[in-house]
Amino acid sequence: DAGITQSPRYKITETGRQVTLMCHQTWSHSYMFWYRQDLGHGLRLIYYSAAADITDKGEVPDGYVVSRSKTENFPLTLESATRSQTSVYFCASSEVGRQGAWEQYFGPGTRLTVT
């Protein structure tokens, strides 16, 4: 039972390059989320998805693009990376429909450095 995985775990890229972070979950959870975590800011929501082909902006969406063609995958793309996007990125998933809904489970994270 792999749960939720992210790839790559570490990435170094240059300013202006496009980079895609992958997230895959095996629980068939409806909801998936992308967060970034920076010192002094805690976890901030970038985008989330309620189901395949349904996505919405979070707190800090600028410079990011998401898609969700399959329930299990939720890639996050930085269209033109900037140094301010250097961060640790976490993917999470959640299910709905019972009291335990909204318990989010996190992937291991991707540490991204933009030089």
Residue 112, token pair as written in the block: 């991204």
Question: Which of 5, 7, 50, 71 touches other proteins (CB under 8 A)?
Answer: 50
Nearest approach in angstroms of CB 100 to other proteins is 7
Find the Cα–Cα–Cα–Cα dihedral 109, 10, 12, 93, rounded to 10°.
-30
Q: Which stretch binds other proteins (CB under 8 A): 12-20, 43-51, 62-70, 74-82?
A: 43-51
Question: Which of 32, 76, 85, 109 touches other proteins (CB under 8 A)?
Answer: 109
Complex with other proteins: residue 64 or 90, whichever CB lies closer:
90
* Cβ 109 vs Cβ 7: under 8 Å: no
Tell me the pairing of strands 64-66 and 10-13: unpaired
Please give the DSSP secondary-structure letter assigned to residue 9. S
Residues binding other proteins (CB under 8 A): 31, 33, 40-43, 45, 48, 50, 58, 90, 99-109
